[in-house]
Amino acid sequence: MDTDKTSVYNAFVAELKLLFPHEEIEARVRQLGAEITADYRGADPLIIGVLKGAVIFLADLIRQIDLPLEIDFIGLSSYGDGTSSCGEAIVTACPAVSLKGRHVLLVEDIIDTGYCLETLLKIIKAGEPASVKLCALLDKPGRRQVPVSADYSGFNVPDAFVVGYGLDCGQRYRNLPDIYTLGESESG
Ligand code: 5GP
Ligand code: MG
């Protein structure tokens, strides 16, 4: 066991400030699932999660959607490993199924500047889906640089870096069940 890594992890977690406890997230995810179920009634949507941050949210969300849905994933990686958003991004994974004629619901962890989603939406639309909607757990509307908005949005968050429930800091802390702020740091 690397006790040094464990103590760094524990010290970081001890400094975090609770923003949304998992009970609150669960209740909001249930509402979003009910809305999506009602809106897509009669359809078999293709729900595409954005790796890696949206994995936890997607796993909970789809269990609140009562439809014959399919899931797939798309991956976008920003340079570096820290707390920056993706101004320059590389595609790390593409959906395995054809998007043509499908009702696609893109599921993202957080919209910050909007650059990531602008890129992702371009890729998705190139696949000629019948429709594309966006569901984001978190939104920082005050940080937007490009006009991207979610059709389904969980919570607005202040201009602070958030971690937990899939959201990382340097690839760690995605496993925390609640959502925390790291402090009033720059996330761009
Ligand atoms: P955007 O392109 O909208 O600026 O950035 C979106 C991506 O940046 C998100 O999908 C997420 O990966 C990352 N990001 C933006 N803000 C935060 C944040 O507060 N915490 C974490 N963990 N990631 C963030
Ligand atoms: Mg992301």
Classify strands 162-163 and 152-156 as parallel, antiparallel or unpaired.
unpaired
Rounded mean pLDDT, 37-41: 98
Residue nearest to atom 13 of ligand 1 (CA): 85
pTM given for the model = 0.92
- Token readout for 102 is 């499908």
Distance (angstroms) between ligand 2 centre and the Cα of 78 equals 9
Place of tokens 């797939």: 72
Is the model more confident about 85 or about 117? Answer: 117
* Residue-level pLDDT at 161: 95
Q: Which atom of ligand 1 is nearest to the CA of 89?
A: 2
Residues with CB under 5 A from ligand 2 (ion): 53, 109
pLDDT above 90 for 108 = yes
Distance (angstroms) between ligand 1 centre and the Cα of 136 equals 11
Task: Answer whether 180 contacts ligand 1 (Cβ < 6 A).
Answer: no
* Residue-level pLDDT at 156: 97
* Residue-level pLDDT at 31: 98
pLDDT tens per residue across span 67-96: 999 999 999 877 655 444 555 678 899 999
Average pLDDT over the chain, rounded to whole?
A: 92
pLDDT above 90 for 17 = yes
Distance (angstroms) between ligand 2 centre and the Cα of 1 equals 30
% of the chain surpassing 90 pLDDT:
85
Q: Which residues contact 140 (CB under 8 A, 6 or more apart)?
A: 110, 111, 112, 156, 157, 158, 159, 187
As a whole number of angstroms, the distance between CA 79 and CA 90 comes to: 8
* Residue-level pLDDT at 185: 44
Residue 66 known to be catalytic? no
As a whole number of angstroms, the distance between CA 157 and CA 138 comes to: 7
Residue nearest to atom 7 of ligand 1 (CA): 85
pLDDT above 50 for 11 = yes
pLDDT tens per residue across span 118-165: 999 999 999 999 999 999 999 999 999 999 999 999 999 988 999 999
Task: Answer whether 49 contacts ligand 1 (Cβ < 6 A).
Answer: no
